[in-house]
Amino acid sequence: MQLTTVLLFAFVLTLANASTIPLRRIRISSLPHQRGHLSMHRRHARFLPRQVTNTSTTTLATAGTATPQPLITTTNTNSSSAAPSPSSAPSPSISIDSTPQPSQPPADNSGAQKYVVAHHMIGNTFPYTIQDWADDIALAHASGIDGFALNMGSDDWEPARVADAYQAALQSGLDFKLFLSLDMSVLPCGSPADAQALRNLVKAHITHPNQFQYKGRAFVSTFAGETCQFGQGSVADGWKTQFTRSPDLQGQIYFVPAFFIDPATFGNFADVMDGDFNWNSGWPIQVTTSFAQNLANSLPANTTSGAGGILGSVINTAGSLATAGLNRLQLAVSQFIGATTTDEQHLAALSKLPANLGTRDTDPSSPLYMAAVSPWFFTHYGKDSFNKNFIFLSDQHLYSKRWESLVETRDTVDVVEVLTWNDYGESHYVGPIKGSQPNSQAWTDGMNHTAWLGLTQYYATAFKTGSYPAIEKDQIYMWSRPHSSSAQAPDPVGQPDNFQLPQDAIWAVVLTTAPSSVTLATSPTTSTTVNVPAGLTKLTMPISAGGTMKGTITRNGQTVVELNPTGFTFQGSPKTYNFNAFVASATAD
């Protein structure tokens, strides 16, 4: 056995035994909002890696094929026209990177209805009218989203916006549901009076026609809350006596919090939780720069080894992706994109809980599991502000691959929550840029993400119905960051943590009604054409300074879709760091 193989085994074994590493979470205090009204809460959760177990290796194949096919890489028509950036492939080329999608995702034998909801930040809705809410609801509903999780903080104007949301949902006439996601990173929870205030928020809409009801009870969630005692002797006693089993709520709510705790401790909350929301499952948050570098440095020189387990996943991934334009660091982390390891950990913990978990009393069914899916993550606040400046790895078609994982395991997932509809400060919004911004204009101006809603509808339909929908119109989706990951800028905030992880690339997803030719271009002289089958195909092409994005689908010599967005140029010398995504799409007439 080679020395590098031994080192990688040792590294992996260390990670596999890391379940006792304590979780670390950063809380951000409120700061005055740019418009001058009351402060808005901003938050995020960051964890040390707990455990790494074997996950399915990414297989490169054309979508819809029965068996994996070799990676297809096509040489650029003019490879000398633009020099690739340091993190790009040696030559500009298209890589087809997709997994075969089953014609029939696995059935859920319980027959339970599936739901897709989106996280909506009330803190960003200060200027909202009922019409604003109506517009959001109509757009979300048309995009396959069944409801909003209303993230509610401590600003005194937020209950009025929540009331408007419920009113707009009622007036819409749509089957669109709402529920509260109590943001316990900012809501006080130190006394019984604080618990009473939370109960009042819930009771205000508990019987509303558009309140999301699950198993006959009003669905309620949280962001955090794992330290709240409400003046009681423990967190579990606090939530039990002052909230879920308080006389004015007992038997009326279905409580699915996002507690940032080790899933092995779920048993402590058997009288509190009706289910679990795994917030951090939306991104491979364990993949930091140091994590990736350690893994990449341990890759064996001989990538054709037949080793199994985690080591085999790394080796096989590296071998199959060797010509896909990924450097060693990106090769090493590819196995974590869209993986379900954290879902499996949470589901295993839930399976050990009693059947009559929590406030359901006599309901014999299993605890609910709510998973997260997210297309992106970048935040860039300096130390004089919210002091949040980092990315989570979102490359390699994270949104598609995470969705595909959830569709493939839909028999174990009850609800999917899209993170998020409008959290502009963390760059993972899929709704329109409107309302109030938490001083995030520097990285959101001109960076509309609503094109991702087309993919959301496609995957949400597959998750909820158990069948991928028929593709009735040819579609193309493209996105990229606005500058190289290694670019230098005179930005006092500095480069974000983990800036070394992303690729300099344009990402594309095409949905085709029949076999087609797809051309991606980053300049008038730098383009590549590949043939794709009917179905969904994921494509990648390197980009360098001065590059733009253009995509074309042709069939029988005719152009059926062309995407040529304006307002995007890949910068060589940006003035500020921006790792947000520029997203665009086009659909055939």
Mutual angle of helices 309-320 and 3-16, in 10-degree steps: 120
Delineate the domains of the chain, giving CATH numbers in brackets: 103-284+337-469 (3.20.20.80), 471-588 (2.60.40)
Helical H segments across 227-327, by residue range: 235-239, 289-297, 309-320
Q: What is the pLDDT of residues 384-432, one digit of tens each?
A: 999 999 999 999 999 999 999 999 999 999 999 999 999 999 999 999 9
State the pLDDT at residue 99. Answer: 47
State how far the Cα of 486 lies from the Cα of 504, in Å rounded to an integer.
9
Out of 55-69, 232-246, 442-456, least confident range? 55-69
Looking at per-residue pLDDT, the higher value among 1 and 490 belongs to 490
Residues in CB range of 285: below 8 A, 6 or more apart: 46, 47, 392
Residues 73-81 have a mean pLDDT of: 28
Reported confidence tier of residue 17, pLDDT bands at 50, 70, 90: very low
Please state, in angstroms and rounded to a whole number, the distance separating the CA atoms of residues 362 and 438: 44
Cα dihedral sign, 104-105-111-113: negative
Question: What is the rounded average pLDDT of the residues 351-372?
Answer: 73
Using a 10 angstrom Cβ sphere, with 0-12 exposed, 13-18 middle and 19 or more buried, the burial of residue 528 is: buried
| Average pLDDT estimate for 506-517 | 97
| DSSP class of 243 | I
Q: Which residue has better confidence, 108 or 179?
A: 179
112 vs 15, more confident: 112
107-146 residue pLDDT tens = 666 668 999 999 999 999 999 999 999 999 999 999 999 9
- Residue, of 329 and 21, whose pLDDT is higher: 329
Higher per-residue pLDDT: 522 or 58: 522
Q: What's the confidence (pLDDT) of residue 105?
A: 60
Handedness of CA 11, 12, 13, 17 (dihedral sign): positive
DSSP-assigned states of every residue in 37-92 = SS-B---------------PPP--B-TT-SS-----EEE-TTTTSSPPPTTS-SS-
> Looking at residue 94, what is its pLDDT?
75
Could you tell me which residue, 74 or 337, shows the higher pLDDT? Answer: 337
Overall average pLDDT of the 13-17 stretch:
32
All residues at 6 or more sequence positions from 121 whose CB lies less than 8 Å from its CB, including other chains: 151, 420, 421, 422, 423
Give the confidence band of 11 by pLDDT, cuts at 50, 70, 90.
very low
Query: What's the CA gap between 250 and 243, in Å, rounded?
Result: 8
First CA to last CA across the chain, in angstroms? 58
Q: How far apart are CA 350 and CA 369, in angstroms?
A: 8
pLDDT at 104: 56
Spacing of C-alpha 99 from chain mean position: 19
Least confidently predicted of 127-141, 317-331, 352-366, 464-478:
317-331
| pLDDT at residue 337 is higher than 70 | yes
- Is it the case that residue 5 has pLDDT exceeding 90? no
pLDDT band for 297, please (50, 70, 90 cuts).
confident
Mean pLDDT of the chain: 81
- Measured distance CA(377)–CA(291) in Å, rounded: 18
pTM: 0.83
Model confidence pLDDT, tens digit, residues 198-218: 999 999 999 999 999 999 999
Of 11, 55, 17, whose CA–CA distance to 291 is shortest? 11
pLDDT for the residue 50? 30
Give me the pLDDT at residue 328, please: 75
What are the tokens at 164? 């408007």
pLDDT given at position 584: 98
Residue that has been written with the tokens 């910068």 in this structure:
571
Out of 40-44, 97-101, 413-417, pick the least confident.
40-44
Q: What is the pLDDT of residue 60?
A: 25
Report the pLDDT value the prediction gives residue 359, as an integer from 0 to 100.
54
**How are strands ordered across the β-sheet holding 93-96?**
73-75, 93-96, 535-542, 505-512, 475-480, 582-587
pLDDT over 60 at 455, yes or no:
yes
- Judged against a pLDDT cut of 90, whether residue 149 lies above it is answered with yes
What pLDDT was estimated at residue 265? Answer: 94
